[in-house]
Amino acid sequence: MAAHRIPYAATVSLAHPEDALRKLRYALDVRGFRFIHMLAPCPTGWKSEPSEGIELVRLAVRAGLFAVYEVFDGYRYEINIEPEMSSHALEAYLAGQGRFRNVGPSLDAIRAAIDTGWKQLRRRAGDHD
């Protein structure tokens, strides 16, 4: 969506309600097309316990699997929640969902993909460290 230079695009984690509400309120005031990508638990698809859904979303953010950020006019990126890049959170996120049992790449491959994605996002946000 950001590549189309829409006025506002953002990602939202239901495990971070203050950030989500702030972004939804902002989006309501923006003229033009707005896009919100929300990570919300799906117990059926994730094959997880409904009571653990918000914690799984929190783990995805802590692990760096789901980046929480905003894009203004397709150009200015702002990272809203800095992940811990926790390997423990990554393992717990995957272990808490039946959809990942006995399938998928290694934890090292997942971590490498996460790191690559964050390098790209940080570059867009102007953080070149």
Instruction: List per-residue pLDDT tens for the chain, 129 residues long.
Output: 999 999 999 999 999 999 999 999 999 999 999 999 999 999 999 999 999 999 999 999 999 999 999 999 999 999 999 999 999 999 999 999 999 887 767 899 999 999 999 999 999 999 754
C-beta atoms surrounding 13 within 10 Å: 21
What total of structural domains would you count in the chain?
1
What's the whole-model pTM score? 0.91
Is residue 119 included in any domain, yes or no? yes
23-61 in b/e form (b: 16+ CB < 10 A) is: beeebeeeeeebebeebebeeeebebeeebbbbbbbbbb
Residue type, 64: G
Is residue 63 included in any domain, yes or no? yes
Residue given tokens 């934890």 in the structure block: 107
Boundaries of domain holding 111? 2-124
Using alpha carbons only, give the angle 17, 22, 27 rounded to the nearest 5 degrees: 125
Is residue 129 included in any domain, yes or no? no
Is residue 107 included in any domain, yes or no? yes
